Structure 1
Amino acid sequence: MTKTYEESSQTGDFLEALRLAVERARTEHSPTDGMIDWRVAAIRGQRGGIAGLNLITVVIEVKQV
């Protein structure tokens, strides 16, 4: 069984979005040994337009043990 976690960066920073998703997974999943098994499930983004967007979203899947 897996659970997904999704986080975004408003500055288009992939590593920031990934770090936030992994941190959230560790906090919400709270394994006793502090380790989680995750993989990137999706990456998507928006750039430009009238609003000048530079958004990237990372979705990770975490194995539930």
Structure 2
Amino acid sequence: MKITAHDIKQLGIIDDVISEPLGGAHKDIEQQALAIKSAFVEQLDSLESLSRDEIANDRFEKFRNIGSYIE
């Protein structure tokens, strides 16, 4: 079974993949924290333009996609 971050992004289960610094997140914790913060703020900003119903429907679709697979 092949499950990578990019695979689950393609399935729509996650919104984005946050890259790690060269050598891994533990090598540069500050850079990783900034990358996480940037991705988090970007996602929050994108939610501001959506209604509660749109957010709920998007969340439903995301959970529905968890049961799907690609051969």
Shorter chain as denominator, the TM-score bin is 0.3 to 0.5
User: If each structure's helix is expressed as a fraction of its own residues, which one has the higher value?
Assistant: 2
Query: When the two structures are superposed, what TM-score results if normalisation uses the length of structure 1?
Result: 0.32
What's the TM-score, normalizing by structure 2?
A: 0.30
Structure number with the higher strand fraction is 1
Higher relative contact order (CA 8 A, sep 6+): 1
